[in-house]
């Protein structure tokens, strides 16, 4: 008998009691290889002394100082660290407690920007099918994940969706990757025109799709064209880096590899690497200045914005990633892991595609590799694989794909950056 309301009520879960490096320990005496870092959260693995010390030191100074009254050193330093590295013009950094909160703030910032500039008709958001931007009502409204939306459809805000850039399923056989990227991006222009450009506030996309599609990267030139379209129509481009950011793809920000500068970037998981719940939103100077010189105030805020202990932990995580050259390590490990996955899983005959970037790798499973036919959703294959893997002390992150057959089941492999070939 338990009083806790688990996310899967009734599930019988092992109790996590410790962790070291890439391993998690449970009270059942078993050690689990955390090959998905939970859900692409863990960056430095468990028990990193530098992060633990940063948390201990900051927590011993004070519990909490509300940001309506005070700023604090760790949040100022972390903001500086991120602003100095982000591919965004004159960035300003706002903190929050996780990915969904970051999405909420990004949507409201986009709206506040247009209102401040005297364009209040801009209230339409455009997102992509098979995307995930969070579980809160605003974030879920712009998430193209039919399963997660279904129970709440009546209370979601309106949003328009275009197809994602998903070459495995959408690129024509006689089409170059560049031509496909252009075709996929041009869908945004068509959608903006259909909505009326004067009504569109922002386009939100994951530079590497995480939870819903399993590490799908965009075709070459896709995001450059997206960026160009957004600029042409005065639409803000929000890059959701909650899962793919903070080093996960081998560059600190995933959009660095796309050569674009979004107006707003969100991040969370890898920011604190799981040591503390923390997220952040970076807004361009243009967005910030419009709000400051307009209403002068961004009508938004959560109690735990810029929590000093969370920021101290995140700062220690980020400094460690940089000082220990972990981005280079991630880039070295990528082909090794992809090769090992091909060797190990290829013979099953079920591997549609192994894809991704850095240590964000997706394995799409299909019933027929020639026709790319997914397994029937009622088989719940990904969930069964998660269970079978766990029975062998391995954590991988499952997703059952789309009920409408537009993608197959997939497994996400996203180990901590400190993983070694031997792991």
For ligand PLP, the closer CB: 98 or 398: 98
Report CA torsion sign: 99, 100, 106, 109. negative
Rounded least distance, CB 375 to ligand PLP, Å: 23
Angle at 400 between CA 395 and CA 401, to 5 degrees: 125
By CB under 6 A, tell whether 410 contacts ligand PLP.
Answer: no
Number of residues that bind ligand PLP (CB under 6 A): 16
As measured in angstroms, the least distance from the Cβ of 359 to ligand PLP is 15
249 near ligand PLP (CB under 6 A): no
What pairing do the DSSP bridges indicate for beta strands 236-241 and 264-267? parallel
3-state helix, strand, coil in the chain (%, to 5): 40, 20, 40
Q: For residue 166, how many C-alpha atoms fall within 13 Å in the half-sphere facing its CB? A: 23
Q: Which of 82, 159, 200, 243 binds ligand PLP (CB under 6 A)?
A: 243
* CB of 98 vs ligand PLP, minimal distance in Å: 3
Half-sphere exposure of 165 (CA within 13 A, CB side): 26
Q: Which residue is nearest to ligand PLP (CB)?
A: 99
Stretch that binds ligand PLP, among 83-91, 204-212, 291-299, 413-421 (CB under 6 A): 204-212
Which residue, 132 or 288, has its beta carbon nearer to ligand PLP? 132
CB nearer to ligand PLP: give 36 or 103. Answer: 103
Q: Which is nearer to ligand PLP, 82 or 412 (CB)?
A: 412
Per CB under 6 A, which region of 14-22, 147-155, 239-247, 358-366 contacts ligand PLP?
Answer: 239-247
Residue 403 Cβ vs ligand PLP, minimum distance, rounded to whole Å: 19
Residue 365 or residue 414: which is nearer to ligand PLP going by CB? 414
Shortest gap between Cβ of 241 and ligand PLP (angstroms)? Answer: 7
CB of 103 to ligand PLP, least distance (A): 6
Q: Is 314 in the site for ligand PLP (CB under 6 A)?
A: no
Residue 125 burial by CB count (10 A; 0-12/13-18/19+): exposed, middle or buried? buried
Identify which of residues 149 and 372 has a Cβ nearer to ligand PLP in the complex.
149
CB of 206 to ligand PLP, least distance (A): 5
| CB atoms near residue 365 (< 10 Å) | 23
417 lies in the binding site for ligand PLP (CB under 6 A): no
Say whether residue 273 binds ligand PLP (CB under 6 A).
no
Over the Cα atoms of the chain, what is R_g? 21
Least distance in angstroms from the C-beta of 195 to ligand PLP:
23
Site for ligand PLP, residues 94 to 153, rule: CB under 6 A: 98-100, 103, 132-135
Q: How far is the CB of 263 from ligand PLP (least distance, A)?
A: 17
Please give the Cα distance from 130 to 189 (Å, whole number): 19
Helix (H, G, I), strand (E, B) or coil at 330: helix
206 contacts ligand PLP (rule: CB under 6 A): yes
- In the complex, the smallest distance separating the C-beta of residue 398 from ligand PLP, rounded to whole angstroms, is 13
Question: Does the protein bind ligand PLP through residue 240 (CB under 6 A)?
Answer: yes
Is the Cβ–Cβ distance between 305 and 109 less than 8 Å?
Answer: no
Helix, strand or coil, per DSSP, at residue 106 = helix
Query: CB-wise, 201 or 268, nearer to ligand PLP?
Result: 268
CB of 312 to ligand PLP, least distance (A): 19
3-state SS string over 40-84?
A: HCCCCCECCHHHHHHHHHHHHHCCCCCCCCCCCHHHHHHHHHHHC
Query: Residue 21 or residue 358: which is nearer to ligand PLP going by CB?
Result: 358
Binder of ligand PLP out of 26, 39, 156, 179 (CB under 6 A): 39
Encoding tokens for residue 247? Answer: 């080093």
Strands 92-96 and 200-205: unpaired
CB atoms within 10 A of CB 342: 13
Buried b (16+ CB within 10 A) or exposed e, 74-97: bbeebbebbeebbbbeebbbbbbb
Residues present in the chain in total: 423
Q: Report whether 269 contacts 41 (CB < 8 A).
A: yes
Residues in touch with ligand PLP (CB under 6 A) = 39, 98-100, 103, 132-135, 206, 210-211, 240, 242-243, 268
């Amino acid at each position: 008998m338990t009083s806790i309301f688990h996310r899967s009520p009734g599930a019988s879960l092992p109790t996590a009691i410790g962790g070291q490096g890439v391993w998690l320990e449970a009270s059942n005496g078993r050690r689990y290889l955390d090959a998905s870092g939970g859900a692409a959260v863990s960056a430095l693995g468990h028990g990193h002394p530098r992060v633990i010390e940063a948390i201990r030191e900051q927590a011993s100074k004070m519990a909490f100082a509300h940001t309506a009254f005070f700023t604090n050193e760790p949040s100022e330093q972390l903001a500086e660290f991120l602003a100095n590295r982000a591919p965004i013009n004159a960035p300003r950094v706002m903190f929050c407690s996780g990915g969904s909160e970051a999405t909420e703030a990004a949507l409201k910032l986009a709206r506040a920007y247009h209102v401040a500039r005297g364009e209040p008709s801009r209230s339409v958001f455009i997102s992509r099918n098979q995307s995930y931007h969070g579980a809160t009502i605003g974030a879920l409204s712009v998430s193209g994940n039919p399963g997660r939306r279904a129970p709440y459809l009546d209370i979601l805000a309106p949003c328009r969706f275009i197809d994602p850039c998903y070459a495995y399923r959408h690129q024509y056989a006689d089409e170059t990757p560049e031509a496909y990227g252009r075709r996929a991006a041009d869908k945004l222009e068509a959608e903006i025109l259909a909505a009326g450009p004067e009504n569109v506030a922002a386009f939100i996309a994951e530079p590497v799709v995480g939870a819903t599609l399993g590490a799908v990267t965009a075709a070459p030139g896709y995001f450059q064209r997206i960026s160009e379209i957004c600029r042409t129509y005065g639409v803000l481009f929000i890059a959701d880096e909650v899962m793919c950011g903070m080093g996960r793809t081998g560059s600190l920000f995933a959009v660095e590899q796309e050569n674009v500068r979004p107006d707003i970037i969100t991040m969370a998981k890898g920011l604190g690497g799981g040591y503390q719940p923390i997220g952040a939103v970076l807004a361009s100077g243009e967005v910030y200045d419009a709000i400051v010189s307009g209403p002068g105030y961004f009508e938004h805020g959560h109690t735990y914005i810029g929590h000093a202990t969370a920021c101290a932990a995140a700062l220690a995580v980020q400094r460690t990633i940089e000082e220990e050259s972990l981005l280079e390590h991630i880039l070295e490990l990528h082909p090794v892991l992809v090769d090992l996955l091909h060797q190990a899983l290829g013979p099953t005959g079920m591997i549609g595609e192994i894809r991704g970037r850095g240590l964000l790798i997706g394995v799409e499973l299909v019933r027929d590799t020639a026709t790319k036919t997914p397994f029937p959703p009622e088989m719940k294959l990904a969930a069964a694989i998660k269970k079978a893997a766990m029975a062998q002390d391995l954590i991988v992150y499952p997703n059952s794909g789309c009920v409408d057959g537009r993608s197959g089941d997939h497994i996400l492999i996203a180990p901590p950056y400190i993983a070694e070939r031997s792991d």
